[in-house]
Amino acid sequence: MVDKDKILLAVEYFERAYRLHLSGDVNQAIEAYRKSIDYYPTPKAHNFLGWALSLIGKYDEAIEECKTAIELDPEYGNPYNDIGIYLINLNKYDESIYWFQKALNLRDYDSKHIPMYNLGRVFEKKGMWFTALKYYNDSMLENPEYQPAKVAYHKMLSQLN
């Protein structure tokens, strides 16, 4: 049985970490995420710790945190997408495709427009313009309000004309 006090402390540290994270105090946020995980590890805490680590260029550590999040909840979509982003930052475009595709294949992931957009980014970087356009368009169809996909789609379209 899980100790309710530990869960409450984990939530308290997670919330503190998130506030620090958003205020730009990434190093303090990392410490608070780690304390949250020490009290009660959750996929979200590991994923957000990965995000914070990525902001200071620790992509390999960020990827490991995301993989831990996936181990805890294989249906949680954010870490799949985030691993793909970190791999883009490491110029490992072909590897990133695998992770974005995994995110798209999850049943309960409700932000599929984001990995679609990110696949567009990958194929644009690879010089595969029409494939990139397809993914940007798919992202816009999935979420018509998602501005990054709209901007990327129209920018690419204008460059191809």
Q: Helices then strands (H, E): number in the chain?
A: 9, 0
What percentage of the chain exceeds 90 in pLDDT? Answer: 93
* pLDDT for 1: 52
DSSP string of 67-133?
HHHHHH-TT--HHHHHHHHHHHHTT-HHHHHHHHHHHHT-SS-S-THHHHHHHHHHHHHTT-HHHHH
Cα separation of 134 and 64, whole Å?
30
The boundaries of every CATH 1.25.40.10 domain in the chain are 1-110
CB-CB contact of 72 with 84 (8 Å): no
pLDDT for residue 32 is more than 90: yes
pLDDT for residue 56 is more than 70: yes
**Domain 1-110 of CATH type 1.25.40.10:** yes
* pLDDT for 160: 87
Residue pLDDT, tens place only, 140-149 = 999 999 999 9
Q: Shortest CA distance to 69 belongs to which of 89, 86, 56, 94? A: 86
Mapped to the 3 state alphabet, what secondary structure does 112-128 carry? CHHHHHHHHHHHHHCCC
pLDDT for residue 93 is more than 60: yes
pLDDT for residue 18 is more than 90: yes
Mean pLDDT of the 67-94 span: 97
Cα separation of 40 and 27, whole Å?
20
Total-model pTM: 0.93
* pLDDT for 107: 86
Residue 9 pLDDT grade (very low, low, confident, very high; cuts 50, 70, 90): very high
Mean pLDDT of the 41-60 span: 98
